[in-house]
Amino acid sequence: MIQADLSDKVTVITGASSGMGAAMARRFAACGSRVVLAARRFERLEALADEITRAGGTALAVRCDVSQWTQVESLVAQSLDRFGQIDVMINNAGFGYLRSLAKSPVERIDSQIDVNFKGVCYGCKAVLNHMIQRRSGHIINTGSVGSMRHYPTLAVYVGAKHAVLGFSRSLYEEVREHGIRVNVLCPGAVNTEFLQVAGFRDIPWPADGMIQATDIAELALACVALPPNIQIDTVILWPTCQVT
Ligand SMILES: NC(=O)c1ccc[n+]([C@@H]2O[C@H](COP(=O)([O-])OP(=O)(O)OC[C@H]3O[C@@H](n4cnc5c(N)ncnc54)[C@H](OP(=O)(O)O)[C@@H]3O)[C@@H](O)[C@H]2O)c1
């Protein structure tokens, strides 16, 4: 387990109502970071905020659909109103939709791009001026092994995750002179609700053989805990049960 003192930090996490986002929120809060929890299912965020508070941490729950720019802008504004700073922005919200393109409704094509790609762009844009002003900041975007591999019946999802990787690497070149780092975490199969939401009927991996959400939280913490002169570009993480 990484040892990190984040007691002077504020971390905003999208997709914090379940899976990897919730695990990152718990882990960062346990290291002392004040955490802002964002997603659409507010009751889940409130329950997690209560849990973190009971454990001695500080958490703010904010309802936010990352595909809506005004809601992401408001998420950042509410975080700054409450805590006065944002040190780490984790753009993690996303979902998959397992269907051939021919059979995919156009609305599902749009929403996959809106949430998985535009949501990441919005999250970055919303915090950048603040981070540039402070000459420091850390952005972690959740990609996928689909950011560099090809999977049938997930073409739009894979396209959006490729976009996340290209966007994040380009953005880093834009912001590194301002002391801002941009990392992309690209996991294979993680044991979360993602696979059910995507519509996998028969999950091809044993739950305990997959990467666990807590493993991703540890990795995100490692990225943030590194000295400020080190930039981790992209981390590709496979469970050994999955074909690479
Ligand atoms: N699990 C995997 O195998 C795997 C592998 C590679 C990459 N990933 C990526 O990892 C990230 C986290 O997924 P997970 O595995 O933790 O799955 P998860 O448990 O299903 O979590 C997805 C999170 O995204 C949020 N979300 C979805 N649409 C949203 C929207 N429009 N606005 C705000 N939040 C939204 C959900 O919250 P609400 O529904 O409450 O809004 C939920 O908190 C995603 O980007 C996913 O693509 C997952």
pLDDT single digits (tens) 155-205? 999 999 999 999 999 999 999 999 999 999 999 999 999 999 999 988 989
What's the pLDDT tens digit per position in 2-59? 999 999 999 999 999 999 999 999 999 999 999 999 999 999 999 999 999 999 999 9
- Alpha carbon of 111 to ligand 1 centroid (Å): 13
Looking at residue 218, what is its pLDDT? 98
Query: Rounded CA gap, 187 and 216, in Å?
Result: 8
Q: Where are the domains of the chain?
A: 10-237
- Alpha carbon of 61 to ligand 1 centroid (Å): 16
Please tell me whether residue 144 adopts helix, strand or coil conformation: coil
Of 169, 177, 94, nearest to 139 by C-alpha is: 169
- Alpha carbon of 177 to ligand 1 centroid (Å): 31
Looking at residue 82, what is its pLDDT? 98
Q: Which of 18, 145, 237 to mutate to test the pocket of ligand 1 (most atoms within 8 A of CB)?
A: 18
CB 185 less than 6 A from any atom of ligand 1:
no
Query: Rounded CA gap, 216 and 145, in Å?
Result: 13
Residue scoring higher pLDDT (218 or 204): 218
The ligand 1 atom nearest the CA atom of 197: 20
Q: In what order do the strands lie in the sheet with 59-63?
A: 59-63, 34-39, 10-14, 88-91, 137-142, 180-187, 234-237
Residues annotated catalytic, as ranges: 157
Query: Rounded CA gap, 123 and 6, in Å?
Result: 21
What's the pLDDT tens digit per position in 94-117? 999 999 999 999 999 999 999 999
Looking at residue 231, what is its pLDDT? 95
Query: Rounded CA gap, 100 and 162, in Å?
Result: 18
Q: How many residues does the chain have?
A: 244
- Counting other chains too, the contacts that 103-109 makes at CB distance below 8 Å and 24 or more residues apart are 104/156, 108/156, 109/156
What would be the CATH architecture of the domain defined by 10-237? 3-Layer(aba) Sandwich (3.40)
What's the pLDDT tens digit per position in 129-153? 999 999 999 999 999 999 999 999 9
Q: Which of 67, 116, 190 to mutate to test the pocket of ligand 1 (most atoms within 8 A of CB)?
A: 190
Looking at residue 191, what is its pLDDT? 97
Q: Which residue has the tokens 């900041």?
A: 137
Please tell me whether residue 61 adopts helix, strand or coil conformation: strand
Looking at residue 23, what is its pLDDT? 98
pLDDT band at residue 124 under the 50/70/90 scheme: very high
Count other Cβ atoms within 10 Å, centred on residue 63. 18
- Using an 8 Å Cβ cutoff, are 19 and 194 in contact? yes
Sign of dihedral through CA atoms 211, 214, 215, 216? positive
